[in-house]
């Protein structure tokens, strides 16, 4: 009788192992370069750091911080929050549209200028295996006019 009990106990634990399903990642972190019009005169180059939290129904929310410079005395810092919607129903991957709102800090020789920034972004989150991704995007808005970039990141 003990042997039957041990065998049943063994199989009850092993079935629980197979019952677990793969959980979708709940947030991601990305970093990448950007080319934009953050300067009063000419273009600027910069970098963006983003944190995205997945929400139900193909939505995601997050935080972005961008830093840009025209390398001639104008530097910009853009912290913002966003709401994103993925157009494909594939685990928060593929085409998306996004609305941003945040601050725009312009640093020049004359001092700092503070503004509110808002805009729209469209992009594509391309998975590279289970955890990594590439994300080319373009954005339009005020006061920066436009930006294009490529983020690489990890889904956690």
Could you identify the residue written with the tokens 């830093």? 67
CA distance linking residue 101 with residue 43, whole number of Å: 21
Q: Where are the beta strands (DSSP E) in the chain?
A: 27-36, 44-54, 59-69, 75-86, 94-108, 111-128, 132-142, 145-155
Q: What is the number of structural domains in the chain?
A: 1
Domain containing residue 80: 25-155
**Do the beta carbons of residue 79 and residue 118 sit within 8 Å?**
no
Look at residue 19 in the predicted model and tell me its pLDDT. Answer: 44
| Residue segments in the chain with a per-residue pLDDT below the cut of 70 | 1-24
**pTM for the predicted model, two decimal places:** 0.82
CATH of the domain at 128: 2.40.160.20
Q: Is residue 124 part of a domain?
A: yes
Q: Is residue 2 part of a domain?
A: no
Q: Is residue 46 part of a domain?
A: yes
Look at residue 18 in the predicted model and tell me its pLDDT. Answer: 46
Q: Is residue 16 part of a domain?
A: no
Q: Is residue 7 part of a domain?
A: no
Look at residue 147 in the predicted model and tell me its pLDDT. Answer: 96
According to DSSP H, which parts of the chain are helical?
2-19
Look at residue 39 in the predicted model and tell me its pLDDT. Answer: 79
Q: How far lies 77's CA from each of 35, 38, 49, 112, 153, in Å? A: 14, 9, 12, 11, 21
Q: Is residue 96 part of a domain?
A: yes
Q: Is residue 141 part of a domain?
A: yes
Q: How far lies 151's CA from each of 24, 25, 44, 82, 110, in Å? A: 20, 18, 17, 16, 32
């Amino acid at each position: 009788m003990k042997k039957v009990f041990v065998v049943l106990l063994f199989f009850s634990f092993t079935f629980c192992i197979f019952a677990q399903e793969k959980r979708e990642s709940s947030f991601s972190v990305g970093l990448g370069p950007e080319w934009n019009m953050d300067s009063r005169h000419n273009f600027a180059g910069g970098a963006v750091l983003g944190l995205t939290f997945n929400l139900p129904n193909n939505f995601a929310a997050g935080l972005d911080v961008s830093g840009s410079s025209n390398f001639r005395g104008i530097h910009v810092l853009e912290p913002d929050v966003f709401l994103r919607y993925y157009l494909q129903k594939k685990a928060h991957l593929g085409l998306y549209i996004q609305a941003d709102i945040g601050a725009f800090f312009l640093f020049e020789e004359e001092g700092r200028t503070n503004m509110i920034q808002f805009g729209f972004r469209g992009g594509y989150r391309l998975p590279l295996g289970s955890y990594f991704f590439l994300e080319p995007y373009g954005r339009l808005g005020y006061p920066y006019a436009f930006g294009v970039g490529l983020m690489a990141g990890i889904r956690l």
